[in-house]
Every structure is written in structure tokens, then in C-alpha cells.
Amino acid sequence: MSLISIERIYLLIGLIVMYLVWHTLKDKAHPKRLTTALFWGLFGSLFLFGDLAVTWLGEQLAHRIAGAMVIVIALLAGMGKVSAGSYTPRSDAQKQQSARALGNKVFVPALLIPLFTVAATLLLSDVSTGELMLFDPKHQTLAALTLACTLALIAGWRLTGDSPLKAVAESRRLVDSIGWAAILPQMLAMLGGVFVVAQTGDSIKALVSLFVDPNNRFALVAIYCIGMALFTMVMGNAFAAFPVMTAGIALPFLIEQHGASPAPLMAIGMYSGYCGTLMTPMAANFNIVPAALLDLDDKYQVIKVQIPTALTLLATNILLMYFIVFD
Amino acid sequence: MPGEFATYWMNAAMLEQLLQLNYWPLIGIPVVVLGFALRFNPLLVVTVAGLITGWAVNMDMFALLETFGDKFLSSRQLASFLLILPVIALLERHGLKEHAQNWIATVKGVTTRGILSLYFVVREVSAALGLLSLGGHAQTVRPLLSPMAEAAATNQYGPLPKPVRDNIAAHAAACDNVALFFGEDIFIAFGAVLLMDAFLKENGIAGIEPLHIGLWAIPTALAALVIHLFRLSRLEARIRRDIARHQQANQHPNQQEVPSSGQVADTPASSQTAGSDL
């Protein structure tokens, strides 16, 4: 048992999303009020009722219902039925006035989130009373982040006089501007799951292996590194690519046949995968969500900025691996 | 027929193998690439790619729905940034962005490059020490790093055109990603290092400790630092050039079609980076 368990964090996220849905429904000037509310309502209920449904209906039925809801979510977004609403932002002059009145104190809640999360992960992870842990042992960072956000909301309340509920209502502007991108990371995790069941990885491995020349060390290194990057771009995650490519190419050809040193081979191989992560919209939480968070006109601009670094590093990795692993 | 395709890099046997591969599990990849390229809504593209892949490998419809639901529910922690947004929204309402910009204006000689480079180094070093949650797009980049980097440019050049502002913001996000990715694997308790360690043990390769893997992550981490700091060093010139180009375009509203890269090359800022594309 833990006080801040992952289930409770999901409930909290569900409550926040549902509070936003309620405000969307009240927003009479919203151009797509009902369908936007349905979109976020379905999303929020997967957080509020997901774990309860598994307990009550059994895993199989609950997962099927959740899967059907996900398809409805995708259809609503795909048909353009989800949009931003109307908000009452404060004027620039009012914000400047607040900024002058609060001074550097306005930084305090913002800095509290990262600093407290790190400190709490390091110091509070083992705190417990009897059987009850403070943080979910499997999700310590997330539990620490949740606590940090709560404290920051309280600090913000004391500082500005706006209550946490007001803050959540205010975040509708941000959540709406992120829109469908907020859900994309989970959708991609879902596609990754289908790829695992369909054994897409084995097909990629078979395809890449065809180009292997077992006696050409440099070509082997290049294929392993480029294969890691490509596979990661498809799956959006280097962890999914690593076991398949390493077992398929690195282990039989580089380690067993050419006697390559495993530690640098794997470290650099994994980093080659990360070069792929920088170049793919499939890694939405790193590449697409920030584009939405930062109000960029081009949702692929973060990727475009990262590509030169990623390609240069990939080439560097190939050379590094070639000159390091065979000693 | 296959013999006619045979070249020094692809012989007949290889072509035969290529033709015999099972391509059905791969069908989701072109669906995703095409769907993104044609700018369909990504949620729809990804869902359709999942449905088609499942159909192509003869998955039962209910089993497919079950995989969808299972994976969606078990990846809910990816939405945890929603917890951060209320605080950020509240502070933005009370002038967080404005104050970050005013504050940067009081620091002498600070540049966009300087702010992003400093953040990059701090982020990569702290990630290498395992302090992964010190940064992040919702908690650090949007409320603090991006406004400060923009403000430094505004101090130097005046109000920024939207494309210049977007480019700086995208660089702020890229700094966070690159520094995090290439710092974290040095930290031996990080998931990737443990995954590699488990893989080695599973495959019967003994005598490698997580420490060795972490150590061999350092050369790439240093390369990432050098490469990305070099790119940031050219960002300043790029901002100058883009602003000069924007101003010139605005001064001659009737000659919008004329200013191409060649036309602008005589401005002092652009001559330093002619042809570069950061």
C-alpha cells in the first residue's frame, strides 16, 4: 500500500480532466462545445474509471470497452470535432502589473516543481508508516511530481490569492491549445503494443539482416547503428528497438563472430536509437507535445531543429563504435 | 528474372530472400508515414495504422480492441504533464512570462545562445547524475527557458517576428531533449542501463557491470555536448539574419517576391551564415 499510489494519481488526473469538461460545457461561446466535451470526457473517464472497470468487469471486457472508447476519441479528433473554446485572459498590462507586484516570488512555485520533485525522489522514496508507503514504489518520480504540483498550487494560492480550482480552470486554455497532441503519446504506446503482437520487429530484423555482410566489420557496425535509429523511429522508443536489433545483429555478428566488446557496443547502440527518437513524431511526448505547448505553427519544428544534431551524432556513433569495440 | 537484377550488392539469392519476407506486419509503417505526410489527424492515423496492422496479421477484432485498451490504460502515466499545467497556467495569469522577460532584461550581455547553452550543460550534467526531473517541457521549457531565450533576443533586436520566435522556442525544446537523452545513460541506475544489463545476463555474457555501460556512454554524451553547443553558437547569427530578412521584406512590401537568399546576402548579419540551415 502507498499513500500516493499510481491509481490515485490517475484518479486525480481524471478529476482534473472532468473539471475541465464541466467548464467546456459551461462555455457557451465554444465553437465545438459538445464534441470537445465528449472527447475529453471519454479521455478523463479512462483515468477515473479505468481501474474500477478492470476490477468490476474483469480485464478482458474492461480493456475491450476502453479500446472502443479510444477509437471514438480518434474519430472525434480525426473529423475535426475538437477545438479550443473561449477564455477570458487578463490583459498584458494587468499581467505586467502582477509581475511587478510579485517580483521574483512568481518564480517560486514554478521552480518548486522540478526542485521538490528531485529532492522528494531522493529523500522521501523510502518514507513509510508501518505498511503504508508514502510513494508508490514503482512510480516514485511520478508520485513526487504529484506532491510537488500540489505544493506548488498551494504556494501559488498564497502568492496570488487564486485557489487551486481556479488554477485548474485556468489550465483549460493550455490543455485546449495542446488538444489532441496530449493523447498522442498514449495512442502511440497502443500502436507499439499492436506492433509487438504482430511481430513487426521480427520483420524489420529480417529485412535489415538481408543487408548484412558478415565479414565487413564497418558495414556491420553501420547497419546496427542505423537499424537502431530506424527501428526507434518506427516504434517511437529505443527500448523497443534495442533487444530486437541487438539480438539480431550485434550479438551473433559483432560480439560472437568478431569479438566486439559488449559494454561500449550496447551503450553506443542504445544512443544510436536515441538519435532516432530525436527525428520521429512517434516520440510524441518529446517532439509533438512541446511543439503544442510552445504554440509553434509547425508541429514538426522541434523535430526539424533536432535532425542536424541527430544525424551528426549518428555518424559519430558509427565511427566511435567502429574504433572502440574491436580493441 | 531475378538474375537480371543481380548486382555486386544484391545477388539473386538475396533478392529471392527479399521476395520471401513476410511484409504484412510492416504495413502500419507506410500507413503512419503517408498519414502524417498528408496531414491527417495523427490520432486517426495511428489508430488506423493499428487497425490495419491487426487486420493484416489476422488478429481477432476483439483481441485487437483488447490490445488497444490494455496499452492505452497501462501508458496513462504519459499524461502526467496534465498535473503540471494548472500551476503554470496560474502563474502565467499572474505574469510569470512577463517577469521572466523583465528579469532577463536586467542581466547585462545575456544572449539566446548563452541561455540555451547554459541550460544544455546543466541539464546534461544533472541527467548524468540521475536528476532527470529537473527539466521538462511543461515544467521548465514553456514557463521559463523559452520566454527567457526569447527575451534575450528581444532585448537585442526588438520585437521578434513569429517565425524567429518559433525557431527560438523549438531550439529551447530541442535543448531539453538532446541534453536529457545523451546525459541519462551515464547514470547507472537509469532504465536504459538496467535494460542493457538485463539483456547481457539473459544472453549469457558475464563480467559486464552497469558501471561499464555507463562509462562507455560518456564519449557519445561528450560528442552530443560539442555538436549541440556548436549548433547553438550559430543560432545567434541565424536570428540576426532572419530578423534582417524580415525587416527588409517589411520595408519593401511591394517587392515581397524579390528578396531571395541571394538578395539579402549583402546585409552584414547574413553574410556570416550564408547557406547555413540550423
Tens-digit pLDDT profile for residues A274-298: 999 999 988 888 999 999 999 999 9
Interface test with B, best of A171, A184, A204 (most B CBs within 10 A): A171
pLDDT at B252: 64
Count of the separate structural domains present in chain B: 2
Q: Are B129 and B207 found together in one domain?
A: yes
Confirm whether B276 is domain-assigned: no
Q: How is residue A94 written as a grid cell? A: 494587468
| 146-185 of A, contacting B, C-beta below 8 A | 146, 149, 152-153, 156, 159-160, 162, 164, 166-168, 170-171, 173-175, 180-185
B117 occurs within a structural domain: yes
b/e burial code for range A132-171 (CB count within 10 A of at least 16 → b)? ebbbbeebbbbbbbbbbbbbbbebbbebbebebebbbbbb
ipTM of the predicted assembly exceeds 0.85: yes
Q: Which of B57, B74, B91 is the last residue of a domain?
A: B74
Q: Which of A77, A160, A197 sits opposite B41 (nearest CB)?
A: A77
B68 and B115 part of one domain: no
Please tell me the predicted confidence (pLDDT) of residue A213. Answer: 80
Altogether, the residues listed in chain A come to a count of 327
Q: Could you tell me if B6 and B140 lie in one domain?
A: no
**Is the CB of A64 less than 8 angstroms away from the CB of B83?**
no
For residue A132, is pLDDT > 60? yes
Q: Which of B3-7, B21-25, B168-172, B207-211 has the highest mean pLDDT?
A: B168-172
Q: What would the 3-class secondary structure string for chain B be?
A: CHHHHCCCCCCHHHHHHHHHCCCHHHCHHHHHHHHHHCCCCHHHHHHHHHHHHHHHCCCCHHHHHHHHHHHHHHCHHHHHHHHCHHHHHHHHHCCHHHHHHHHHHHCCCCCHHHHHHHHHHHHHHHHHCCCHHHCCHHHHHHHHHHHHHHHHHHHHHCCCCHHHHHHHHHHHHHHHHHHHHHHHCCCCCCHHHHHHHHHHHHCCCCCCCHHHHHHCCHHHHHHHHHHHHHHHHHHHHHHHHHHHHHHHHHHCHHHCCCCCHHHHCCCHHHHCCCCCCC
* Cβ contact, residue pair B196, A13, below 8 Å: no
Provide φ and ψ at B45, rounded to 5°: -60, -45
Residue B262: pLDDT above 50? no
Mean pLDDT in residue range A126-148: 86
Residues B132 and B58 in one domain: no
Does one domain contain both B114 and B174? yes
Flag if B166 and A182 touch (Cβ within 8 Å): no
Asked if B142 and B164 sit in the same domain, the reply is: yes
In a domain, B30, yes or no: yes
Q: Residues of A numbered 20-39 whose beta carbons fall under 8 angstroms of chain B's beta carbons: which are they? A: none
Considering the domain architecture, whether residues B124 and B214 belong to the same structural domain is answered as yes
Domain termination residue (choose one: B24, B51, B74): B74
Range of the domain at B30: 2-74
Question: What average pLDDT does chain A have?
Answer: 90
**Does residue B278 lie within any of the structural domains?**
no
